[in-house]
Structure 1
Amino acid sequence: MKLNWGTSIVIAFILFIGFIMFFVVNMLTDDKYDHDLVVESYYKKNLTLQKDIDDSKKALALDQNVEINLAKEGLEIIFPTEFNFADIKAELFMYRPSDKALDFTTNLQLKSSRFVLPHNDFTSGRWDAILKFSYNNEDYMVTKKINK
């Protein structure tokens, strides 16, 4: 059987479509290509953005900044000594950019001006620690990128 140019073009199109379909099916079924949105409720989060910016500015304006560091025991949060730790209401949101299933929120029960989140509470990798706290009816927010 002799192929003419018309048959060759049809065969080339079929092979090309098969090639593209192979990659589409591969991308849709392979878990390593499964990426989540940064924030589930994007528009709702956008409404609170200005408040978050204002709270971050207030936290930076403090005489003594809140420190978030990676220590031997875990993630260490140190509040200013000028604050009475009993009056601080704080919440720590740990955001994992690569897997939303690992995200979690912890209400901090402070026994001193220092709080430690143990290493076994979060896995190795990149994290965004977002600390929101209030003291004397003022809201503050501190963010820190962590590589564990």
Structure 2
Amino acid sequence: MPSLVVNKPAPQRSLWPYAIIATFVLFALFIGSMVKQAMSSSVDLVSKDYYRQELEHQQRMEATARTRALAAEAVVRYQAAAHQLEVQLPAALQGQALSGTVQFFRPSDQTRDFSVPLQPDADLRQVLSTARLQPGYWRVRLDFSADGQRYFVEQNVTIPN
């Protein structure tokens, strides 16, 4: 009897193992590049003495509550037409010994932070030029005391281009 020869088809190779390995390699490269980018980016705190300021948080909350309790609020207003920032203190503080600072914080770049002394006129108003401020987002903090009582106001200001 003649022998039958059965032709077996050659086994086909699957591409799935290679695709899975390639996916893991690409994912590992992506994660590695993200870690490298995160480690090389600069992280600036809002201020150099950030941790000391956090410890004073309770005192600031009390000063903020004391400021809100006044008959009128302390107001920080940006006047775009005049390129000025106006600080108006409440009339309830009239005749009291005032001292303090107006602090300008640029959250995106701490090298631009600065402060100026609070020197209100007889109407408890101080006008500051914004020529020094670059366009963008600024956080203005008014930290002052009147007759030994601390007050605090924080206002966000956006300087247009």
Q: With the length of structure 1 as denominator, give the TM-score of the two structures.
A: 0.76
* Count of aligned pairs between the two proteins: 143
Aligned to 1:50: 58
- Residue 67 of structure 1 and its aligned partner are, at CA, apart by 1.0
Q: What secondary structure does 1:57 align onto?
A: helix
Q: What residue identity is the alignment partner of 2:145?
A: S
Distance across 2 between alignment mates of 1:138 and 1:27: 44
Q: Point out the structure with the larger helix share.
A: 1
- The answer to whether residue 93 in structure 2 is matched with residue 93 in structure 1 is no
**Mind listing any 5+ residue stretches in structure 1 that lack a counterpart?**
none
Q: What secondary structure does 1:120 align onto?
A: coil
**Mind listing any 5+ residue stretches in structure 2 that lack a counterpart?**
1-14
Q: What residue identity is the alignment partner of 1:124?
A: P
Determine what percentage of the aligned residue pairs are the same residue: 27
Distance across 2 between alignment mates of 1:88 and 1:27: 45
Distance across 1 between alignment mates of 2:145 and 2:39: 44
Aligned to 1:69: 77
Q: With the length of structure 2 as denominator, give the TM-score of the two structures.
A: 0.70
Aligned to 2:125: 114
Bigger Cα Rg: 2
Change (3 A) 1:101 1:12: same
Q: What secondary structure does 1:121 align onto?
A: coil
- Residue 100 of structure 1 and its aligned partner are, at CA, apart by 0.6
